[in-house]
Amino acid sequence: MPSTQFPLDIVVIGAGVAGITCAQQLRLAGYSVELVEKSRGMGGRLAKRRLTDASAGATHADHGVCYLKPKDATFARLVQRLCDRGAMAVWTEKIHELGAVVGEVVPPQSRSARYASPQGINALAKAMSKDLTIHYQQRAVALHSQAEGWEIETDQGLSLKAKALVIAVPTPQAIALVEPLADLDDETLAQLKSVNYSKSIAAIAVYDPEHQATAAQLPWQGINCYRHESLAWVGLESSKQLNPQQPVVVVHSNMAFGEAQFEAEDRQAVGQSLLEMAAKATGEAWLAQPEILQVHRWGYAFPQTPLSEPYVEAKTNLPLWFAGDWCGGDRVESAFLSGLALANQINQQLKGEALPELFWQVLN
Ligand SMILES: Cc1cc2nc3c(=O)[nH]c(=O)nc-3n(C[C@H](O)[C@H](O)[C@H](O)COP(=O)(O)OP(=O)(O)OC[C@H]3O[C@@H](n4cnc5c(N)ncnc54)[C@H](O)[C@@H]3O)c2cc1C
């Protein structure tokens, strides 16, 4: 893997929503920016998984983020712009809940739009990452602070050099990278260490097409499971798609179940138990009999103790900043706002001026 010979202005570690937003703003402002991402695709927890190929009638599921529910005006405009382009749409206005009686699913008191994408929820990351240079399947493993700037090393032997560094990953992954730095200040490390994450396990299930008529008649598309001892969410993923041929369901465990079962050896059995609990809780017995069952473990699902600041700046000799959902919240929206605020701050420091919302340019 060749090394980049010239020092970049900025390297961003992590191509989730926070990293992409920050990098895109900086690129459009004229900085040379590259990202390193440990996975095969961008989006992080804004995740889509392909489940069957075209020959079997292609289908997929959002196995991380379930939907977007914008509150902030800029984020709402971004989601609306994606809707105007056909990349997102209102999925549902009603998220049901489990009732007090087992097998009972009750509608909500109020309605509000939840957005998703027929092509998969990572459509937002795809749109925002246009023209960015992202080095995939490159896990940043070591940082070196040198006279001329940062050197970022990956597990595949890639070496990037940059004048400034942005780390846009969950705090435990950030700590693993920065704790060895000799000049990292105690205050920054303490801030990072104060943010803890929940774990969650996702069961991703595809069903026989014979159940599609039943699924299409269900009164619910998504169910919040606050009352359940192990479940957090049951989502009828196929209802996000335009012409589904077979039901696809994602069940998320709650934090307690995620903690208890995270290291279980038989992951398929854990996924099957989630489906069985979902079948019982909803009164839909067929949910326990998938044609395909996949299981994904989220080691860093939601920050439990987010910071109120939109980014963190370390007091290191070389410029080093942190961004992510954990800076200001625990959702996609906070990740987006964190990336935006950090790009603005970097430009303030380097060029002494505020950065307008340049990212609209890639959404035209
Ligand atoms: C099960 C689940 C359901 C959720 N549901 C919702 C929902 O319905 N609505 C909502 O708004 N939010 C939801 N969230 C939360 C949402 O996913 C996050 O808030 C948001 O996606 C965080 O974005 P981020 O950019 O901060 O971090 P991430 O998405 O975690 O991005 C960080 C990226 O950094 C990469 N990375 C990490 N370490 C390294 C390294 N050393 N080198 C290179 N790359 C690295 C990761 O692979 C990842 O791509 C959900 C999360 C989960 C897990």
Report pLDDT digits (tens) over 154-191. Answer: 999 999 999 999 999 999 999 999 999 999 999 999 99
Please name the residue whose Cα sits nearest to atom 34 of ligand 1: 14
SS3 string of the chain?
Answer: CCCCCCCEEEEEECCEHHHHHHHHHHHHCCCCEEEECCCCCCECCCCEEEEECHHHCCEEEECCCCCECCCCHHHHHHHHHHHHCCCCEEEECCCEEECCCCCCEECCCCCCCEEECCCCCCHHHHHHCCCCEEECCCCEEEEEEECCEEEEEECCCCEEEEEEEEECCCHHHHHHHHCCCCCCCHHHHHHHHCCCECCEEEEEEECCHHHHHHHHHCCCCEEECCCCCCEEEEEEHHHHCCCCCCCEEEEEECHHHHHHHCCCCCHHHHHHHHHHHHHHHHCCHHHHCCCEEEEEEECCCCECCCECCCCEECCCCCCEEECCCCECCCCHHHHHHHHHHHHHHHHHHHHCCCCCCHHHHHHC
Using the atom order of ligand 1, give the atom closest to the CA of residue 170: 30
Please name the residue whose Cα sits nearest to atom 33 of ligand 1: 14
Give the model's pLDDT for residue 31: 97
Q: Name the superfamily (CATH) of residues 8-43+126-195+305-363.
A: FAD/NAD(P)-binding domain (3.50.50.60)
Percent of the chain with pLDDT over 90: 94
Report the residue among 13, 42, 65, 224 best suited for mutation to probe ligand 1: largest number of ligand atoms under 8 A from its CB: 65
Structure confidence by residue, pLDDT tens digits, 295-316: 999 999 999 999 999 999 999 9
Give the model's pLDDT for residue 53: 72
Question: Residue ranges of the domains in the chain?
Answer: 8-43+126-195+305-363, 48-120+198-298
d(CA 88, CA 84): 8
Q: Per-residue pLDDT for 10 more than 70? A: yes
Q: Per-residue pLDDT for 54 more than 90? A: no
| Amino acid letter for position 8 | L
Give the model's pLDDT for residue 186: 97
- The top-level CATH class assigned to 48-120+198-298 is alpha beta
User: Taking residues 106-132, what's their average pLDDT?
Assistant: 96
Report the residue among 35, 40, 42, 45 best suited for mutation to probe ligand 1: largest number of ligand atoms under 8 A from its CB: 45
Q: Per-residue pLDDT for 5 more than 80? A: no
User: Taking residues 251-263, what's their average pLDDT?
Assistant: 98
User: Taking residues 195-212, what's their average pLDDT?
Assistant: 97
How far apart are the CA of 54 and the centre of ligand 1, in A?
28
Q: Is 199 in the pocket of ligand 1 (CB under 6 A)?
A: no
How far apart are the CA of 337 and the centre of ligand 1, in A?
14
SS3 string of 204-256?
Answer: EEECCHHHHHHHHHCCCCEEECCCCCCEEEEEEHHHHCCCCCCCEEEEEECHH
Give the model's pLDDT for residue 300: 98
How far apart are the CA of 285 and the centre of ligand 1, in A?
32
Q: Per-residue pLDDT for 1 more than 70? A: no
Residue 290 pLDDT class (50, 70, 90 cuts): very high
Q: Per-residue pLDDT for 3 more than 60? A: no
Give the model's pLDDT for residue 56: 64
Give the model's pLDDT for residue 227: 86
Structure confidence by residue, pLDDT tens digits, 30-41: 999 999 999 999
Structure confidence by residue, pLDDT tens digits, 215-236: 999 999 999 999 899 999 999 9
Q: Is 301 in the pocket of ligand 1 (CB under 6 A)?
A: yes
Give the model's pLDDT for residue 164: 96
